[in-house]
Structure 1
Amino acid sequence: MIRLYFILLLCFCPFFKAQKKHYFLIDTETKITRKVKDSTSAVKFLDSLAQSNYFFTELKDVKKKGDTTEIFYNKGKNYNETYVELSDSIVQKLKIQKGFFTKSLDSTKKSINKRYIDEGYSFSRIKSKFKGQKNGYPIVELDINKNDKRTIDGFVVKGYERIPKRFMKNLEKEFKGKTYDDKNLIAINKTFQTHPFVTLERQPQTLFTKDSTQIYLFMEKKKTNTFDGVIGFGNDKTEKFTLNGTLNVNFRNMFNGFEAINLYWQRNPDKGQTFDLQADIPYLFKSNVGLNMKVNIYRQDSTFANVKMLPALYYHLNNRNKIGLRGTFETSSIIDTLYVQGKDYNKKGIGLWFEMTEPTDIDLFLYKTKISAGYDFLTTTYTKDNIKANQNQLYFFGEHNYHISGNHFLNIKAEGAMMDSKIDFSANELYRFGGWNSMRGFNENSLAGDFYYYGGLEYRYLIGNQAFFDFFGQYGQLNNKSLNVKPKLYSVGLGFNFFIPLGLMSFQLSNGNEFGNPFKFNDIKIHWGILSRF
């Protein structure tokens, strides 16, 4: 052991003068020289070697040359294999035996210390004390200096500070008062890694004071506005080659309130057109209540036109989940008097809906998981027939990008909807689906029914973070009571998606058909699109 009394005798002897002294510690084995500011620092350093498992450090020599003192020492062997005796407080905490032999004292100390750190004792320190030898190995007593327990007391925002106050209140509600440990720090960081509007420029930083623990968040605003354009090529019902397309523009967080404005237009090969306008305000009056307003217009050439309004209020369960109430106000007018399958009608009602979105940290994907479901109770009035009927409508959508391994991913997607009534539905009020974002291989909105579902698997192979190939297959079914048909459908295809300076470019080949019908190459659909963020 270190002979501290001898060091003190040498360091504090009467021949020390008032002038500035220089102290050097020299390891006789490695020849490494360390300069310290005074004799007290030299004593502390030599004493600390025992905490690093050098229990038999010896002082070899002390030489004084003018105002310079050189202290020569030999650390001896590093004993990582030792007998351990734990203090009563550690034994009571860990519920383990008091004494044992370990082949790695460092790992033992680290493991014990981590248990205390995980409970908020961020500045805890394991103390080692040499107690003798046994069978050629040291006996070391371990004790803990816990210091004060730390909890998260608040957040300080730096950088991009114009974020909704309610968002920060929700963050504080989730983490304030919780133990300051790695688990909660990782959860805080993950919240921003996958957030759709903001990200962190660096890892959260911590300011410790005597009475508080503040987490500093260095935020950066994401580019969240998107332009999504798709051009499709295929044949219509008359086997005529047609050009169709989709435009989808999202303006998001332009006013720093996490709000969103969406404009959507689509033209299908059968001369049908869809126009959507949607606005979303997530924190209305700085509360957790959000407002969503949507207007949908669908016109089928010169046959009929539908106009639907969907005002909704919702509540943020957390940053990823929300539940809400919505109203439905819909009207449909028959333009072509020869179109006898359709009827003029008005609908109104109320519904309940839920939505969950888990963002992704892979730029090639829109999100990791998305689930939405809804139920609506509606009253329909067929104006010319003066008939009223109640309707129930159900809807479900789910999508998840599952990481298989390495660069291999599996996209799982399913959607379904059902409307129920005691009277028959008119053709102009049926669900319409099919196309790029639903049942691929079919023309946009070419499939209609009062009930439908489809599901699909898509294998994706990523090429770095700039591109991916995909192969997919889908199966679905629809029911159209008025036509008394229940076709079973399938679609298959492949695609390639890659980043260019403008954004994410997508190219896709697909073919869809009804089971039992022959496969036709001229039914192959070609879609080319680009998703740009700005």
Structure 2
Amino acid sequence: MLIYILFSSEGFCQNLHLIIYGGSKTETATIDSLNYSKTHIDYQSISSEIENFQNTLLKQGYIENQLMGIEKINDSTFRSEIHLKKKFNTIYIYYNNLEVEKSTLKRISKEITDDYFTLHITEIESGLNFINSEFSKNGFPFSKLNLTNIRKQSKNRLEADLTLNRSSSKRTINEIIIKGYEKFPRSYVKHYLKIKPNQIFDLQTIQNKTTQLNNLAFARETKTPEVLFSQDSTNLYLYLEKTKSNTFDGFLGFGTNENTNKLEFDGYLNLSLINNLNYGEAFRVLYKSDENDQKTFEADLSIPYLFKSPIGVDFMLRIFKKDSSFTTANQSVKIHYQINAKHKTFAGITATESNNLLSSNPTGLLSDFETFNYNIAYQFLNAQVLNRLFPLNSKLYAEAGYGNRKTTDTKEKQSNFTLDAFKIFNLNPKNSLYLRVNGATLISDTYFENELLRFGGINSVRGFEENSIYATLYGVINTEYRYQINNSIYIHSIIDASYFENQIANADQKLFGYGFGFGLLTKAGLFKLNYANGKNEGSNFKFSNSKLHLSLLANF
């Protein structure tokens, strides 16, 4: 007996069955098509289901539906009869055109007059919610809409009055209070998020804007904003925390020299310091030593929101030395304007000075010169903050420069264009496709070797020596098929293609790079290894042309 009680479900409860039918076969078929719940644990559940089903019928347009009764057929079955009666498809809603704007109604209704608008019966709830959300966006978060005096004007026409309850004055933001990271630069709230005091209060818009804080390298949102309402004020609370934003990036590359067959090393160090003064500033220093006895030093400083305005300034110094042939120094100043969290524009000037270090220059390809350019640029950044391995989903940077180049006896107009863009196409949580396009061109009547564009290497076409290719025009396509094993490890393919022209050598060529790599997120940072082999169009594959690149990006 004890075993029977423990294992028999009938010892504890009995399922009850509900059957709902209409006043005719057609009504019964309509009822069955609405998929009500037929199995219940008690009579209260059955009663609740019938009430909910009648509400469903109301939303479908059967506003006159009538419950005729509930009948118990046997110990486990109940039957309910509901007469649907006439179905109304459209309702005419009369409104006050001083309270509700036609531009709002046009987004939910196709028939609008100065007195009424029409809605399909099934769209009443979503339509009223939309109108109410528009009131909330305009500073009335506590507004309420109701349909009153619902009536049949004729056999086919259903009418109602739109009643609005709201306060007489709009809600505006009186104060913005930051919790957790009190020293967060306030200019980012005003110009980056576009949230400021005396602005019309709309919580949904504010929540959408504050999620953009996660695109910043130095801060993140810990929880959604909260609001404290009082009789005469509205205080907005933002919950933030400061994150590790300084980075140290470096790589070591090595390969075999084609002439000496000896192992050669190259690499770079890239230090980035962000928001250490709680102003949102960014300072970067890069030192690079390439296989071809080339050395590069760069220093960048970006200061956003000068004097609490949406304007910022960027400074750049770049020094390049090619063995004992020449040195080139670039200096630039740009003013930037942050349109919003994703878009930024630039305008500025760049001055370049290059010196020929050779005592004899029989070819005349090297020359002392100076250039002065005016530059404009645009940047787009789109983050995917939930992915620690690939926090940036897409990027676009385009720049154009116009100016003059001067030598001791000539002056010549020049222009240059640069493009760098990439996009990650997420196929599913583990598989993605990375596509990058970058290129540049220098347009001039004549060229010197010490002003040519330089590319090749880990950040360009992989499988070639760093900055080993000189060009007046080049374009590179990088592709990677990535498989994310877990949240901290991924492997990927490498397929690169490039085309370049060199007007001095009167040559053009296609380059290709093939290989594979992997990334590992450690406590020290993101460790990456790339193995790639580079080849020219028409040349044979050689293992000796392979390059192995190691890099580590550490946050601190």
Shared fold, TM over 0.5: yes
% same residue: 25
Residue among 411, 414, 439 paired with 2:434:
411
In the alignment, the residues of structure 2 paired with residue 143 and residue 212 of structure 1 have an alpha-carbon distance, to the nearest angstrom, of 29
Residue among 116, 135, 141 paired with 2:132:
116
Q: Counterpart in 1 of 2:394?
A: 369
In the alignment, the residues of structure 2 paired with residue 147 and residue 98 of structure 1 have an alpha-carbon distance, to the nearest angstrom, of 23
In the alignment, the residues of structure 2 paired with residue 368 and residue 297 of structure 1 have an alpha-carbon distance, to the nearest angstrom, of 31
Whether 2:185 is the aligned partner of 1:164: answer: yes
Greater alpha carbon shift after TM alignment, 428-437 vs 239-248: 239-248
In the alignment, the residues of structure 1 paired with residue 341 and residue 532 of structure 2 have an alpha-carbon distance, to the nearest angstrom, of 36
In the alignment, the residues of structure 1 paired with residue 333 and residue 280 of structure 2 have an alpha-carbon distance, to the nearest angstrom, of 19
In structure 2, relative to structure 1, the CA distance for the partners of 1:209 and 1:420 (3 Å cut) is: same
How far the C-alpha of 1:264 sits from its partner, in A, is: 0.4
Q: Secondary structure at the match of 2:135?
A: coil
- TM-score scaled to structure 2, two decimals? 0.72
Q: Which amino acid aligns with 1:526?
A: L
Q: Counterpart in 1 of 2:39?
A: none
> 1:416-435, aligned counterparts within 5 Å?
416-423=439-446, 425-435=447-457
In the alignment, the residues of structure 2 paired with residue 146 and residue 172 of structure 1 have an alpha-carbon distance, to the nearest angstrom, of 31
- TM-score scaled to structure 1, two decimals? 0.75
Q: Which amino acid aligns with 1:405?
A: N
How far the C-alpha of 1:87 sits from its partner, in A, is: 6.7
Residue among 363, 367, 378 paired with 1:355:
378
How far the C-alpha of 1:355 sits from its partner, in A, is: 3.1
Whether 2:361 is the aligned partner of 1:317: answer: no
In structure 2, relative to structure 1, the CA distance for the partners of 1:207 and 1:110 (3 Å cut) is: farther
Q: Counterpart in 2 of 1:279?
A: 301
In the alignment, the residues of structure 1 paired with residue 121 and residue 283 of structure 2 have an alpha-carbon distance, to the nearest angstrom, of 66
Residue among 193, 196, 213 paired with 2:217:
196
Q: Which amino acid aligns with 2:440?
A: A
Q: Counterpart in 2 of 1:457?
A: 479
Q: Secondary structure at the match of 2:179?
A: strand
Residues 126 and 142, structure 1, Cα contact 8 Å, conserved in 2? no
Q: Which amino acid aligns with 2:442?
A: M
In the alignment, the residues of structure 2 paired with residue 506 and residue 312 of structure 1 have an alpha-carbon distance, to the nearest angstrom, of 33
Residues 334 and 348, structure 2, Cα contact 8 Å, conserved in 1? yes
Residues 278 and 292, structure 1, Cα contact 8 Å, conserved in 2? yes
Whether 2:421 is the aligned partner of 1:398: answer: yes
Q: Secondary structure at the match of 1:196?
A: coil
Residues 126 and 145, structure 1, Cα contact 8 Å, conserved in 2? yes
How far the C-alpha of 1:99 sits from its partner, in A, is: 10
Q: Counterpart in 2 of 1:438?
A: 460
Q: Secondary structure at the match of 1:456?
A: strand
In the alignment, the residues of structure 1 paired with residue 49 and residue 350 of structure 2 have an alpha-carbon distance, to the nearest angstrom, of 82
In the alignment, the residues of structure 1 paired with residue 307 and residue 523 of structure 2 have an alpha-carbon distance, to the nearest angstrom, of 39
Q: Secondary structure at the match of 2:508?
A: coil
In the alignment, the residues of structure 1 paired with residue 49 and residue 184 of structure 2 have an alpha-carbon distance, to the nearest angstrom, of 58
Whether 2:494 is the aligned partner of 1:469: answer: no
Q: Which amino acid aligns with 2:511?
A: L
How far the C-alpha of 1:192 sits from its partner, in A, is: 1.3
> 1:375-394, aligned counterparts within 5 Å?
375-383=400-408, 386-394=409-417
Q: Which amino acid aligns with 2:166?
A: N
How far the C-alpha of 1:235 sits from its partner, in A, is: 2.5
Q: Secondary structure at the match of 2:450?
A: helix
Q: Counterpart in 2 of 1:147?
A: 166
How far the C-alpha of 1:230 sits from its partner, in A, is: 0.5
Q: Which amino acid aligns with 2:550?
A: W
Q: Counterpart in 2 of 1:216?
A: 237
Whether 2:369 is the aligned partner of 1:346: answer: yes
In structure 2, relative to structure 1, the CA distance for the partners of 1:358 and 1:347 (3 Å cut) is: farther
Q: Deviations over 1:64-112 (max 9, x none)?
A: xxxxxxxxxx98952423344887449996658889877xxxx965763
How far the C-alpha of 1:141 sits from its partner, in A, is: 8.6
In the alignment, the residues of structure 2 paired with residue 300 and residue 352 of structure 1 have an alpha-carbon distance, to the nearest angstrom, of 26
In the alignment, the residues of structure 2 paired with residue 420 and residue 258 of structure 1 have an alpha-carbon distance, to the nearest angstrom, of 36
Residues 119 and 181, structure 1, Cα contact 8 Å, conserved in 2? no
Q: Which amino acid aligns with 2:189?
A: M
In structure 2, relative to structure 1, the CA distance for the partners of 1:144 and 1:234 (3 Å cut) is: farther
In structure 2, relative to structure 1, the CA distance for the partners of 1:327 and 1:89 (3 Å cut) is: closer
Whether 2:208 is the aligned partner of 1:187: answer: yes
How far the C-alpha of 1:237 sits from its partner, in A, is: 4.7
How far the C-alpha of 1:399 sits from its partner, in A, is: 1.6
In structure 2, relative to structure 1, the CA distance for the partners of 1:181 and 1:286 (3 Å cut) is: closer
The count of corresponding residues between Structure 1 and Structure 2 is: 448
> 1:227-238, aligned counterparts within 5 Å?
227-238=248-259
Q: Secondary structure at the match of 1:324?
A: strand
How far the C-alpha of 1:377 sits from its partner, in A, is: 2.4
Residues 179 and 237, structure 2, Cα contact 8 Å, conserved in 1? yes
Residue among 505, 528, 532 paired with 2:550:
528
In the alignment, the residues of structure 2 paired with residue 101 and residue 427 of structure 1 have an alpha-carbon distance, to the nearest angstrom, of 75
In the alignment, the residues of structure 2 paired with residue 276 and residue 220 of structure 1 have an alpha-carbon distance, to the nearest angstrom, of 31
Q: Counterpart in 2 of 1:55?
A: none
Residues 348 and 378, structure 1, Cα contact 8 Å, conserved in 2? yes
In the alignment, the residues of structure 2 paired with residue 112 and residue 226 of structure 1 have an alpha-carbon distance, to the nearest angstrom, of 50
How far the C-alpha of 1:367 sits from its partner, in A, is: 2.0
Residues 396 and 421, structure 2, Cα contact 8 Å, conserved in 1? yes
Q: Deviations over 1:181-217 (max 9, x none)?
A: 53x1442232112223321111111222334444311
Residue among 256, 260, 263 paired with 1:241:
263
Q: Counterpart in 2 of 1:8?
A: none
In structure 2, relative to structure 1, the CA distance for the partners of 1:217 and 1:86 (3 Å cut) is: farther
Greater alpha carbon shift after TM alignment, 448-457 vs 348-357: 348-357
Q: Counterpart in 1 of 2:514?
A: 492
In the alignment, the residues of structure 2 paired with residue 126 and residue 377 of structure 1 have an alpha-carbon distance, to the nearest angstrom, of 59
Q: Counterpart in 1 of 2:530?
A: 508
In structure 2, relative to structure 1, the CA distance for the partners of 1:389 and 1:128 (3 Å cut) is: closer
In structure 2, relative to structure 1, the CA distance for the partners of 1:295 and 1:129 (3 Å cut) is: closer
Residues 289 and 316, structure 1, Cα contact 8 Å, conserved in 2? yes
Greater alpha carbon shift after TM alignment, 492-501 vs 362-371: 362-371
Whether 2:320 is the aligned partner of 1:298: answer: yes
In the alignment, the residues of structure 2 paired with residue 147 and residue 406 of structure 1 have an alpha-carbon distance, to the nearest angstrom, of 45
Gaps in structure 2 of 5+ consecutive residues:
1-46, 64-90, 112-116, 152-157
In structure 2, relative to structure 1, the CA distance for the partners of 1:101 and 1:389 (3 Å cut) is: closer
Q: Deviations over 1:304-333 (max 9, x none)?
A: 222221222222233333322322222222
Q: Deviations over 1:114-140 (max 9, x none)?
A: 5413431543456699999xxxxxx99
Residues 291 and 465, structure 2, Cα contact 8 Å, conserved in 1? yes
